[in-house]
Amino acid sequence: MPVVGSEVDPAWLPDEALHALGSRRVRVEGEGDLVDTVRGEVVHACGLYGGSVVEDDGPYDVLLRRQPQSGEAHGPEGFTLERAGGRVTVTAAAPAGLLHGYFHVVRLGRAAFTDAPPETHRPALALRMLNHWDNVAVHPVMGQVERGYAGGSLFWQDGRARGDLARVRAYARLLASCGVNALSVNNVNVHETEAHLLTDRVTEVAAIADALRPYGIRTHLAVSFAAPVVVGGLDTADPLDDGVRAWWREAAAHVYAHIPDFGGFLVKADSEGQPGPFAYGRTHADGANLLADALAPHGGTVHWRAFVYDHRQDWRDRTTDRARAAHDHFAPLDGRFRDNAVLQVKHGPIDFQVREPVSPVIGALPRTRVAVELQVTQEYTGQQRHVCALAPMWADVLRFRPEGEHGPTVGELTASGGLVAVSNVGDDPFWTGHPLAQFNLYAFGRLAWQPDADPDRLLTEWTESTFTPWATADPDRLRAGLRAVLRDSWTTYEKYTAPLGVGFMVQPGHHYGPSVDGYEYSPWGTYHFADRDGIGVDRSAATGTGYAAQYAKPWSQTYESPDTCPDELLLFFHHVPYDHVLHSGTTVIQHIYDTHFEGVEEAEAAQEVWDGLADLMPPARHARVAERYAEQVRSAREWRDQINSYFLRASGVPDAHGRRVF
Ligand code: GCV
């Protein structure tokens, strides 16, 4: 049980959450490192609440047992839960299953001790990984954590691995308790210092892996495709060169000598300036397979990112569409990747905007293992200064069926590849800067375990374990208040920012706050094309960039025409006049005005609800959120006024309700 001191927020594992189990007689059976972790957890919980750890044949209320022969039912991480007559039995074939079973009982709290039919739980996705965009050395522009909004790195400080890894151990515990089982420890933009983690600095990675291992988290490393040149002294990184292949084999063997259960490599290649196989006239399958072959003898996997596009586009060039790029590059490579290569695809075609269609790449490579990448760190969704609970968005993505209602869901298509997310955690005492952003981290883990989980139920789970309302003076007010501020916060954020799927409109570089034309004449390929007549990007096959045709039917047809395209994605797929009437019955321009007024009102109302919860939680947590609400409301008003003014000036159409637009 890692000890991190009282100044660190316990997140969803406060002592109170251990009460139901910790006040009973608990027996743990079995051997193995993770079973010892479970034992340590039980000792801690019972020490807090007067329960006992039963070592002999005496009576018990909770039995946590490892039974290797139940392997088929449980797999490496599943378990069965039996509840009868106030007695709870968790049976797992493997130690990791027992750990997940233990945390499941903790999550159920008192409900674990009510009778229910036996249940078997196993993760739908084998790999549930967080990526940290943490730099070892502070980067002059991006800082210690790229797109990090929660302080410094948990892993790195002053250019090296932290000596004290107690926070990392506590982080691993939180992650294991919500289902995460893998983590990469450095930025996908691999600068020179970080490139050495693969070679002469691997012992620093090994120390972190030691801290993560007791909670069943495997360590992965982001590597530079040019490592043979940057740190290996070779004059090429050509994936078909024998010397390069030998170099990677040796590099992998060296890592495994230090970290026997190492998970594998993560690669951002030919993307935003990172080196890749294109420099040698090779394909991304050649690149990924090079690393896959080096990892294969050790059981490792390469996660190869599909985020490949031209970031030096000429904004005048209307033939290039960034949204098309990943599909154009990767769909033709289906069937050419090794079994231990996973193509890691951002959930939308552009870049983690508040609203994007599901990437057509996910359904386009049936013979390739595909992982979907989410962004838990809120780069484009309020940077952990705004409340924006993303579970409903992710649940929509995971339930999307790329081939229509009779085909598999995204959750099913990623069973062998996994779900990955960019972490929102740093060394901030609240872990995530904004305490309510902890819900995003929790929900990611739970959805990765069960992609069809109801986001509303996850919110209840998280609220109950983090805020333990039953232990407060007014449980109902607390429950209702938390629900009110979190449940629809994603759509609130969407309302006061970029409308109808058009995306961006953020300030360049740091991406916080409004700037309608911030990226309009930039090389990044993210445009809205607003003028006096209309707005949006024509991505139809008939008259536009053809992106809509990258989808299978029925989606290619649905998105092709403004008549069938869902309102919330209209401007992603079509350029329409301001007086275009949405399915909702309102015009595009009036929708822009209405949603921006509404979004601000909703943020103001949430702030008020939050103010009324002060007596029901630790003062520091309440104060931190209150301080962030002040900024959220200020920023939401800024967004409203800039967007509404911009479009009033562009269109000349006044607000139908005569409200003041600046
Ligand atoms: C790590 C976006 C972010 C970058 C990030 C990149 C990526 O472009 O702004 O900071 O780089 O995505 O996913 O690689």
Q: Classify strands 182-184 and 218-222 as parallel, antiparallel or unpaired.
A: parallel
Position 1 scores a pLDDT of 81
The answer to the question of residue 580 being in a domain is no
What is the number of other CB atoms lying within 10 angstroms of the CB of residue 403? 15
**CB contact at 8 A, 238 and 280:** yes
Residue 48 has pLDDT above 90, yes or no: yes
Q: Using CA positions, which residue lies closest to atom 3 of ligand 1?
A: 147
Q: What's the chain's average pLDDT?
A: 97
Closest ligand 1 atom number to CA of residue 422: 13
379 annotated active-site: yes
**CB contact at 8 A, 478 and 467:** yes
Average pLDDT over residues 287-303: 98
Verify that 192 and 52 share a domain, yes or no.
no
> 3-state SS of 226-243?
CHHHHCCCCCCCCCCCHH
The answer to the question of residue 386 being in a domain is yes
Position 209 scores a pLDDT of 98
Question: pLDDT class for 6, splitting at 50, 70, 90?
Answer: confident
Domain end: 87, 121, 155, which one? Answer: 121
Question: pLDDT class for 70, splitting at 50, 70, 90?
Answer: confident
Verify that 244 and 113 share a domain, yes or no.
no
State whether residue 386 is helix, strand or coil: coil
The answer to the question of residue 156 being in a domain is yes
Q: Which among 33, 164, 272, 627 is annotated as catalytic?
A: 272
CB within 6 Å of ligand 1 — which residues? 133, 146-147, 188-189, 268, 272, 307, 351, 379
Residue 540 has pLDDT above 90, yes or no: yes
Domain end: 121, 139, 174, which one? Answer: 121
The answer to the question of residue 71 being in a domain is yes
Residue 656 has pLDDT above 90, yes or no: yes
Verify that 329 and 215 share a domain, yes or no.
yes
Position 367 scores a pLDDT of 97
164 annotated active-site: no
Average pLDDT over residues 84-97: 96
Which tokens in the block code for residue 425? 């955690």
Q: How far is ligand 1, taken at its centre, from the CA of residue 391, in Å?
A: 21
Range with the lowest mean pLDDT among 3-7, 438-442, 542-546, 573-577? 3-7
Closest ligand 1 atom number to CA of residue 187: 1
Average pLDDT over residues 143-156: 97
Average pLDDT over residues 43-56: 95
Verify that 98 and 141 share a domain, yes or no.
no
How many domains are contained in the chain? 2
> In percent, how much of the chain has pLDDT > 90?
97
Verify that 327 and 247 share a domain, yes or no.
yes
The answer to the question of residue 574 being in a domain is no
Residue 72 has pLDDT above 90, yes or no: no
Residue 273 has pLDDT above 90, yes or no: yes
Average pLDDT over residues 515-525: 97
Position 127 scores a pLDDT of 98
Q: How far is ligand 1, taken at its centre, from the CA of residue 422, in Å?
A: 10
The answer to the question of residue 258 being in a domain is yes
How far from 89 is each of 21, 79, 86, 102, 618, CA to CA, in Å?
12, 10, 10, 10, 34
Verify that 147 and 172 share a domain, yes or no.
yes
In tens, the pLDDT along 405-437 reads 999 999 999 999 999 999 999 999 999 999 999
CATH number of the domain residue 262 falls in: 3.20.20.80
Domain end: 467, 484, 516, which one? Answer: 467
CATH number of the domain residue 39 falls in: 3.30.379.10
In tens, the pLDDT along 634-655 reads 999 999 999 999 999 999 999 9
Q: Which one-letter amino acid corresponds to residue 589? A: I
Verify that 102 and 184 share a domain, yes or no.
no
270 annotated active-site: no
What pTM was computed for the model? 0.98
Average pLDDT over residues 336-363: 98
Position 71 scores a pLDDT of 83
In tens, the pLDDT along 126-139 reads 999 999 999 999 99
- Tell me which residue range forms the domain holding 206: 129-467
The answer to the question of residue 410 being in a domain is yes
Q: How far is ligand 1, taken at its centre, from the CA of residue 324, in Å?
A: 17
Q: How far is ligand 1, taken at its centre, from the CA of residue 304, in Å?
A: 15
The answer to the question of residue 463 being in a domain is yes
Position 661 scores a pLDDT of 85
Verify that 103 and 149 share a domain, yes or no.
no
